[in-house]
Amino acid sequence: MDAQFKLLVDPAAHSLKTGEEFKRSLDDGRALWVNGKRLNSVFDEPALAAGIDLLASMFDDQFKPEFADATTYVDPHSGRVASRAWQVPRTIADLQDRRKMIEYTSLKTAGTFGRPPDLAPAIAVGLLAYLPTFKAKRSLIEGCTPDFAENIERYVQYGRDQNLTASESLTGPQNDRSSPKGVEASLLKVKSVEPGGIRISGIKTVGSVSAQANEIFFTNLGGIRDTPAEACIWASVPVASGGIRMISREMVSHPGSSAFDHPIGHLGEEADQLIIFDNVFVPAERIFNLGDPAAMQYYGPVCVFAHWHVLTRLAVKAELFVGAGQLVLDVLGTGHIPAVQSMLGELIEYAQTLRAFITAAEALAKPTEGDVMAPDVGMLTAGRLHSIQHYPRIIHTLQELCGQGLVMRFGKAAFDNPDIGHYLHDMLPGKGVSAETKEVLMNFIWDMTASSLAGRIALFENVNASPAPRLRERLYNEVKRDRFVDQVKQLAGMR
């Protein structure tokens, strides 16, 4: 690691951006609307700007020795230091090393960024994992015949060399689902073929962090039984491409507030965008599938690394809930109460269970046809199902531990006010801590469980994971049961 860190001194020996370089890369004229108004720059919206500052700090952390192992690695092919976001795991040890980056970004954002900079690269690596399949496929759109496998390899290398950030938008907007025509109307579709590429139009939704990223990685996911050939596409384009318009949801964080009042909310947010593609040009070299419906069925295998990322982030967040719960017991002096111990035990059980699913998924990992080590999909799906089923109760349990502390929050200005502050200082201390220290803890838990930001995150976790019935359907299709059936037949004497 010391040798790796020394390479960062020489610009020729690494492929990393600084935070300032990342921020400059976003000043590209992208078309973004917030609250119905077109922004001149993504930095004009305080919540987005604060979120970008947080992302930029992750880029700067790549150059710090205490974060270098979690955020960077030495690319075995070039010998250069690169972001772990683009690391291709070939062994179980590589998977565990790649997980360090997921844990780092999850802690950096307190798990509030569902799609941090290292998530979309996991989907690109997922395509790489099935390179032989995409090598064998051909475009079914006349006049555009990209080499999918070559494009996938080139894109992963490009992302690694540029320390690229990308969003991923796979699903279509919510509209009339009573007929397939409603879903089909908004699908991204090829409108024309031109020399060097295609033009597409359509709409994608929940484009989290798109306004704060360099590229948009997209496909059409589900909703209709048979995807028409012109809508069968995997591709990526720069966010500032002509014809892309992003309409952002309302902001829910607290940029500009004090870190005392909103320890998490003041950091800004990743905002979700509705992304309109209006006759957008997609270069042939950025196309990873075109016209082949069979390739669209690879969503599950390709996204296994993204699902591993999601489960790891949820585990990190669960551990933050445990830490916050323990601190509540400490500052309120309630740790001796058996019922309170049981409540904290429930938080611990949740966190340990999610960690167990991750450990098992990595231990059972197997190489794909493209020689990429993939975590066990059955363990990941079961873990994601467990996480979303129990998440609301875990939030409620942590809030119960706090009692009135979440209801009676006063803010830094009240504590500093000479007329009333002394009452708060004198009457609200915790066990061995000042009233202000206790207040900061309650403010942190408020931001994580009860604020408008927390509400958006809770909704996102459920939507992002897929509803529980869908995950159970996936378990039915993903987990092989032949061995269990044979065992029952043998024990029961069935022939």
Taking phi first (over 0 means left), then psi (-120 to 50 degrees means alpha), and beta for anything else, what does residue 367 get?
beta
- What tokens were used for 355? 């960690």
Rounded distance between C-alpha atoms, residue 438 and residue 431, angstroms: 9
With beta carbons less than 8 A apart as the criterion, state whether 232 and 140 touch.
yes
For residue 179, the SS3 value is coil
Q: Where in the chain is the domain with CATH 1.20.140.10?
A: 303-489
Q: What pLDDT sits at residue 402?
A: 98
Backbone angles phi, psi at 393, to 5 degrees: -70, -40
**Residue that is written with structure tokens 């798109």 in the block:** 210
Give the Cα separation of 452 and 82 in Å (integer): 36
At 227 the pLDDT is: 83
Give the C-alpha separation, 123 to 128, whole Å. Answer: 9
Which one-letter amino acid corresponds to residue 110?
A
Q: Locate all alpha helices (DSSP H) within 109-211, ordered by sequence.
A: 120-128, 131-136, 148-162, 180-185
Q: Spell out, as residue ranges, where the chain has pLDDT lower than 70.
A: 1-9, 222-225
Specify the amino acid at residue 167: S
Q: Report yes or no: 232 and 68 within 8 Å, Cβ to Cβ.
A: no
Measuring CA to CA, how many Å separate 103 from each of 106, 108, 133, 309? 5, 8, 31, 9
Q: pLDDT for 119-177, tens place per residue?
A: 999 999 999 999 999 999 999 999 999 999 999 999 999 999 999 999 998 888 888 87
Q: Which element (helix H / strand E) includes 34?
A: strand 31-34
Helix (H) or strand (E) holding 236: strand 233-238
- The total number of residues shown for the chain amounts to 495
User: What is the model's pLDDT at position 299?
Assistant: 87
Q: Which residues, 6+ apart, have CB-to-CB distance to 200 below 8 Å?
A: 188, 189, 190, 191, 233, 235, 277, 279, 280, 282
pLDDT tens digit sequence for 191-209: 999 999 999 999 999 899 9
Strand 366-367 to 233-238 pairing: unpaired
> Each residue of 38-51: pLDDT tens digit?
999 999 999 999 99
pLDDT at 267 (0 to 100): 98
Calculate the alpha carbon distances from 180 to 138, 174, 224, 275 in Å: 27, 12, 6, 21
pLDDT value, residue 174: 86
User: In whole angstroms, what is the distance from residue 400 CA to residue 337 CA?
Assistant: 14
Closest-CA residue to 380 (of 482, 459, 478): 478
Q: 2-299 has which CATH code?
A: 2.40.110.10
What CA–CA distance (Å, rounded) separates 83 from 104? 12
d(CA 172, CA 187): 7
Cβ neighbors of 453 (< 8 A, separation 6 or more) are 112, 252, 253, 254, 264, 265, 269, 447
State the Cα–Cα distance between residues 343 and 345, nearest whole angstrom: 5
Query: Domain 303-489 adopts which CATH fold?
Result: Butyryl-CoA Dehydrogenase, subunit A; domain 3 (1.20.140)
Q: What are the residue ranges of CATH 2.40.110.10 in the chain?
A: 2-299
CA distance 191 to 203: 13
**113: left (phi > 0), else alpha (psi -120 to 50), else beta?**
beta
What is the rounded distance in angstroms from the CA atom of residue 56 to the CA atom of residue 305? 24
Residue written as tokens 């062994």? 91
The pLDDT of residue 9: 65
Question: Can you tell me which residue has the tokens 């976790």?
Answer: 461
pLDDT for the residue 175: 85
